[in-house]
Chain A
Amino acid sequence: MQLEEVLALQAQVLWASFAVCIAFGALARRTDFCTMGAISDIFNMGSWVRMRMWGMAVGVAMIGFYVMAWFGLIYPVESIYSSGRVIWLSAIVGGAMFGFGMVLASGCGSKTLVRIGEGSLKSLVVFFVMGLAASATMRGMTAMLRSNTVDQVAFNIPAGSPVPAWLSAMLGVDPGATGLILGLLVGGGLVAWAVQNPKFRSSGNNLLAGLGVGAVIAVMWWVIGHMAFVAEHPDTLGPAYVGTAGGKMQALSFTSPMARALDYVVFFDGSTPLTLGVVAVIGVVLGSLGYSLYSRSFQWEGFHGTQDTALHIIGAACMGVGGVTAGGCTVGQGLSGLSTLSVTSMIAVMGIMLGAIIGLRLQRWLIMRD
């Protein structure tokens, strides 16, 4: 493939990703899809309805991922979640920091972008602080701390982190068939767990969120894993997934993309290439903004006081550092990573939930103290 053709393909990939992210922003805005809200509903009132929404989204994305893999449209071993080096301490510590932070900052990275589209200036501040903290953890001061401490603790799974990869290697069976069977069983199980609940089924919004967000992740796997694949990139002469920052197969994530979006603005020199993360950030904000204007729910929002400001800034910093340390956020390690059945993603999600519970306990203590 010639360089001009690669550049044309890259533009198509980014436009497609942009369209999918606009849909994600509008969908999350309309349906109140929110990971922090799902955990908070369980913690505060014992309601699992929004967690079922989340579980259904993971299930739909997982089925999509492994069905596409079965038909040879994407290659699971190429995904960023397939590394066999499981940095479990980073996943749990980073995940806990992220989960704690998202409670204080009124939502995770994707929710922050959705809330910016609703008119929240609080979330705009969260975005800047989170992006800066993420950038420092990718290549700055906290990056050194991360790589010299928690990243040193790991174990190796030679066949790769996703369950179908190591299970098929252990049993000596076909990895494609193992992936399809596990994807259908676990993904189908999650969808069944969601829809068997009458309270979940009673609202079309819940079904729309579960199906729609899951489909968004699956479509992103297709866009990046199939459409963006170039067997021989003219620059490297090796395979690449064009439009991504690292040239690897991925779906949606929002922590490092926030840092990349800020970098894009700060270091733009007229020829700086756009990448998936940057268009994802802009797309989600515009999708949410569009729905907010359409539903006449757009509303400017500012900080309530000093404590509110401080908690949001602390939360944003925790999310930036934690999200990069854990290798992704509630969408990156949560929806995208879990859809590949990656062990690292499972550990990171457990960390996020643990951190969120600690954050909710702190919030309850602050309310009780008032």
Chain B
Amino acid sequence: MQIDRDVNARGLNCPLPLMKAQKNLAEMQSGQILRVTATDSGSMRDFLTFANESGHEMLEQKNVGKEYIHVMRCR
């Protein structure tokens, strides 16, 4: 999977990782792929809800060690 933007949201708490993702998605073209790496466990819920509400497609969510990785396709 080709990642078009990689956002580092490590060390940021809710809702900052999501706000960073929103800012980047607003600047991206439809179909492009965004990856956000966060360390806030609450981001799992936040990003899933955001995908359901916004129409951006959630491609992958995973927990690797202390990090939470969210991969989304821009609508």
A-side residues, CB < 8 A to B, are 32, 34, 36-37, 40-41, 44-47, 49, 106-107, 118, 122, 199, 297, 299, 301-305, 308, 360, 363-364, 367-368
Contact = CB atoms under 8 A, between A and B. Distances in A.
Given A40-B15, A106-B13, A45 B50 contact: yes
- Which residue, B13, B18, B41, B52, has most C-beta atoms of chain A within 10 A? B13
B39 A37 contact: no
Contacts, number: 61
A367 B23 contact: yes
B35 to A, nearest CB: 17
B66 A49 contact: no
Contacts of A32: 42, 45
Nearest to B11: A304
Interface of B: 10-16, 18-20, 22-23, 39, 41-42, 45-46, 49-50, 52-54, 66
B14 to A, nearest CB: 6
Contacts of B53: 45-47
A289 to B, nearest CB: 15
A45 B15 CA distance: 11
B66 A299 contact: yes
Contact of B49 (A49, A122, A299, A363): A49
A32 B66 CA distance: 18
A288 to B, nearest CB: 12
A367 B19 contact: yes
Given A49-B49, A367-B20, A44 B15 contact: yes
B49 A360 contact: no
A309 to B, nearest CB: 11
Nearest to A364: B19
Given A44-B50, A47-B49, 5 more contacts: A41-B49, A46-B53, A299-B39, A363-B15, A367-B16
B50 to A, nearest CB: 5
B14 A40 contact: yes
Nearest to B41: A297
Contacts of A304: 10-12
